[in-house]
């Protein structure tokens, strides 16, 4: 059973082929290389500019809007900026929120000290599947 607000494995499976294709196209890879647990930067060699390209491709492909910095904003939730991060370093409270929001990322992949600019290193293909699924849900609510 999936908790309210959580993305189900069925929702992820439904968007995975198009997400994998968008990521593969942006990174000049084969879609088969874009498994759910493939980390975009570490495993697939993405750079910051590639992440923007992937977002644009997903927006076009799914006809959705993905706000910039959405992951950080949604992970931060009700925490103030100071509670979430101090001097560019994610706080313990911020780390707990981020780990809950990015539940697809194993805790072992988080460095002992996590800087805000390092958060994208955690992103994997499933992260983007979840972003797309959330955006599609929001779109359905409005429609």
pLDDT averaged per 10 residues, the chain (length 143): 74 98 98 97 96 97 91 91 97 96 95 96 97 91 71
Q: CA angle, corner 43, sides to 134 and 66, nearest 5?
A: 25
Tokens found for residue 140: 């359905």
Class of 9-142 in CATH = mainly alpha
pTM (2 d.p.)? 0.91
- The reported pLDDT for the residue numbered 99 is 95
Q: Which residues of 7-46 are buried (b: 16+ CB within 10 A; e: fewer)?
A: beeebbeebbebbbbbbbebbebebeebebebbbbeebeb
As a whole number of angstroms, the distance between CA 30 and CA 25 comes to: 8
């Amino acid at each position: 059973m999936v908790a309210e607000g959580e993305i189900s494995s069925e929702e992820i499976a439904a968007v995975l082929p198009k997400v994998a294709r968008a990521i593969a196209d942006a990174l000049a890879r084969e879609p088969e290389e874009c498994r759910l647990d493939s980390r975009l930067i570490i495993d697939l060699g993405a750079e910051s500019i590639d992440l923007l390209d992937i977002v644009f491709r997903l927006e076009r492909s799914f006809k959705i809007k993905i706000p910039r910095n959405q992951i950080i904003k949604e992970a931060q939730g009700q925490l103030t900026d100071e509670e979430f991060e101090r001097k560019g370093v994610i706080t313990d409270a911020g780390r707990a929120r981020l780990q809950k929001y990015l539940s697809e990322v194993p805790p072992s992949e988080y460095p002992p000290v996590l800087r805000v600019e390092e958060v994208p290193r955690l992103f994997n293909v499933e992260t983007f599947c979840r972003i797309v699924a959330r955006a599609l849900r929001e779109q359905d609510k409005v429609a």
